[in-house]
Amino acid sequence: MTIASTSSVSSTIRARLIGGPTLQFGYAGLNIVIDPTFDAPGEYEGGITLRKLVGPAVPAADLGTIDLVLLSHDQHADNLDTSGRELLAGATTVLSTPDAASRIPGVTGLVPWQTTLVGAAEVEAVPALHGPNGAEEISGPVTGFVLRAPGAPVVYVSGDNASTDIVAEIVERTGPIDIAVLFAGAANVGRFGDVDVTLNARTAVIAAQLLGAARVVAVHAEGWDHFSETPERLARMFDRAGLADRLTIPTRGKWFEVA
**Predicted pLDDT of residue 9:** 40
Q: What is the pLDDT of residue 1?
A: 31
Residues 6+ apart with CB under 8 A from 201: 184, 186, 229, 233, 234, 236, 237, 238
Task: Give the pLDDT score at 187.
Answer: 74
Separation CA 211–CA 243 (nearest Å): 12
What is the average pLDDT across 218-222?
A: 93
CATH number of 13-252: 3.60.15.10
Q: How far apart are CA 168 and CA 239, in angstroms?
A: 22
Sketch the domain layout of the chain as residue ranges. 13-252
Position 45 pLDDT exceeds 60? yes
pLDDT, residue 108, reads 98
Is 60 exceeded by the pLDDT of residue 190?
no
Percentage of the residues of the chain whose pLDDT score is greater than 70: 90
What is the pLDDT at residue 75? Answer: 87
Average pLDDT over residues 205-231: 93
Each residue of 87-124: pLDDT tens digit?
Answer: 999 999 999 999 999 999 999 999 999 999 999 999 99
HSE-up of residue 103 (Cα within 13 Å, Cβ side): 11
CA distance 89 to 80: 13
Q: Can you tell me the mean pLDDT for 1-15?
A: 54
Q: pLDDT, tens digit, for every residue of 141-181?
A: 999 999 999 999 999 999 999 999 999 999 999 999 999 99
